[in-house]
Structure 1
């Protein structure tokens, strides 16, 4: 009842081509080298909230969410959430709204 099924014509043709290439010892197809992409590790240490560059960068943004801060300053989301709460306590930004999972802030 079971057993191996018959290959389609294109699969059989490809298998024959592979066997022929093995016998010749050559490869006709080009092998692509994997692109080297360095993965940046998200930072654990938030930027200094009293730094003028950081404050100017934040004030240029219309809306502040943990994701925007994390992507802009290369931080983890948990660190970005804590950073935004600290800025809100200092009065640099104001809390606008929050949903179930996200808090939205705006610069003062």
Structure 2
């Protein structure tokens, strides 16, 4: 069971270090990176992803999938949040004027 926690712990530590370095370079960037934790849509998507990972992965791996599902859900929420922020500007604000 101890090895099941190793990969999620290493990835979580890498994300925290990345956030800390970004905060040192650009103060306030950590809040922008982790503001998905207060939005409903990304949190719901992350919870559904974590639950699906648990339900679908349990027959193949047993309880060993449990530590990774939280990391998978968090990463899914992070990606969905940043995907919703990066929409194309309206045509009148587009740099080429089209």
- TM-score > 0.5 by shorter chain: no
Whichever structure has more helix as a proportion of its residues is 2
Structure 1 or 2: more strand by fraction:
1
User: Larger C-alpha radius of gyration, 1 or 2?
Assistant: 1
Q: TM-score under structure 1 normalisation?
A: 0.19
TM-score in terms of structure 2 length: 0.21
More contact order relative to length (CA 8 Å, sep ≥ 6): 2
